[in-house]
């Protein structure tokens, strides 16, 4: 089968066809290059554990990360509840060992397949009750396999996100995951000075906009209005903090360490062996 959208071409894909919400990223938008690099560092980390393995990307979005996993995996499957995102993934990111499925994450409990690596990147903060999905992930995790989670570190979150149900500190995430997985190792995804300068400027601009609503009336507007406004405000914020120059931030500006308190994101390895 023809392979489409090689990783080195991702920056050239543009925004056409992607499902942009201001939260759900897609490759190719220069305004969000810094955000994308932050996401991709987790996929590059997962690649080191996915060599010749069966891999599941639970909450794959429009598929750019699953495509990277398929670069090294024997088989990669991307799952997302949003059918439109899966349709984009099927069109834009094609490999012979890669497929996409539209379903709710809890439905994975009914699957009979087993996966050596399950990725769940920047999704758990969107789940009202993550436990049904976590139990499903444990059920389909192969013996000796690893379930990898990333999520924003609440201690470093300075910008309100209407799509996040709950953000976690390191101890909170570890406690949640240990309710399902007997072995949890916690790491942090860190940004260098350039990344932190961008994050600080982004927070300053976003909070300047939010000060226009001192009574918090935005919390009472219809969801459709939020989904219309949020991506437009996200673009405005990034234009104000440097616009296309944010492309200067790449994966190389992030690192993964054992410390978590000052990290932008939390990253956990979960295993079923004690």
pLDDT score for 104: 95
102 lies in which domain range?
7-271
Tokens of 62: 């429009």
pTM of the model: 0.86
Within-domain flag for 205? yes
Nearest to 191 by CA among 109, 135, 271, 246: 246
Please count the other Cβ atoms lying within 10 Å of the Cβ belonging to residue 213.
Answer: 11
Within-domain flag for 30? yes
pLDDT score for 224: 78
pLDDT score for 74: 98
Indicate the Cα dihedral angle 89, 92, 95, 99, nearest 10°: 20
How far apart (Å, rounded) are the C-alpha atoms in residues 167 and 55? 26
Within-domain flag for 76? yes
pLDDT score for 3: 46
pLDDT score for 233: 80
Within-domain flag for 109? yes
- How many structural domains are present in the chain? 1
Within-domain flag for 2? no
pLDDT score for 8: 41
pLDDT score for 163: 81
How far apart (Å, rounded) are the C-alpha atoms in residues 122 and 271? 19
Is 189 exposed, middle or buried (CB count within 10 Å of its CB: 0-12, 13-18, 19+)?
Answer: buried
Residues in the chain: 274
Within-domain flag for 77? yes
Tokens of 94: 């094609």
- Expressed in angstroms, the distance from the first to the final Cα of the chain is 41
Whichever domain contains 136, its CATH number is 3.40.50.150
pLDDT score for 14: 33
pLDDT score for 194: 92
Within-domain flag for 1? no
Within-domain flag for 243? yes
Question: One digit per residue, pLDDT tens: the chain, 274 residues?
Answer: 334 444 444 433 333 345 555 556 655 677 788 888 999 999 999 999 999 999 999 999 989 999 999 999 999 999 999 999 999 999 999 999 999 999 999 999 999 999 999 999 999 999 999 999 999 999 999 999 999 999 999 999 877 777 889 999 999 999 999 999 999 999 999 999 999 998 988 888 888 887 877 777 777 788 777 777 777 787 788 788 875 455 588 999 999 999 999 999 999 999 998 6
pLDDT score for 210: 78
pLDDT score for 99: 97
Residues 6+ apart with CB under 8 A from 41: 189, 251, 254, 256
């Amino acid at each position: 089968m023809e392979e489409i959208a090689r990783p080195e071409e991702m920056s050239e894909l543009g925004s056409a066809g992607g499902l942009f919400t201001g939260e759900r990223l897609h490759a190719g938008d220069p305004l969000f290059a810094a955000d994308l690099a932050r996401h991709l560092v987790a996929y590059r980390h997962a690649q080191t554990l996915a060599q010749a393995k069966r891999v599941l990307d639970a909450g794959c979005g429009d598929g750019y990360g699953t495509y990277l996993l398929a670069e090294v995996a024997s088989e990669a499957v991307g799952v997302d509840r949003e059918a439109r995102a899966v349709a984009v993934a099927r069109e834009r990111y094609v490999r012979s060992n890669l497929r996409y499925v539209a379903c709710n994450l809890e439905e994975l409990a009914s699957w009979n397949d087993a996966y050596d690596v399950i990725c769940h990147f920047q999704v758990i903060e969107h789940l009202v009750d993550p436990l049904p999905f976590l139990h499903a992930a444990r059920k389909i995790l192969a013996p000796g396999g690893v379930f990898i989670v990333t999520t924003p570190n609440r201690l470093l979150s300075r910008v309100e996100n209407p799509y996040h149900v709950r953000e976690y500190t390191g101890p909170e995430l570890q406690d949640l995951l240990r309710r399902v997985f007997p072995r949890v190792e916690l790491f942090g995804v860190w940004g260098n000075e350039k990344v932190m300068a961008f994050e600080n400027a982004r927070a300053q601009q976003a909070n300047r906009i939010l000060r226009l609503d001192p009574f918090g009336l935005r919390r009472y507007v219809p969801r459709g209005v939020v989904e219309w406004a949020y991506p437009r405000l996200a673009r405005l914020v990034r234009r104000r903090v440097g616009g296309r120059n944010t492309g200067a931030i790449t994966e190389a500006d992030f690192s993964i360490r054992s410390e978590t308190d000052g990290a932008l994101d939390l990253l956990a390895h979960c295993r079923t062996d004690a």
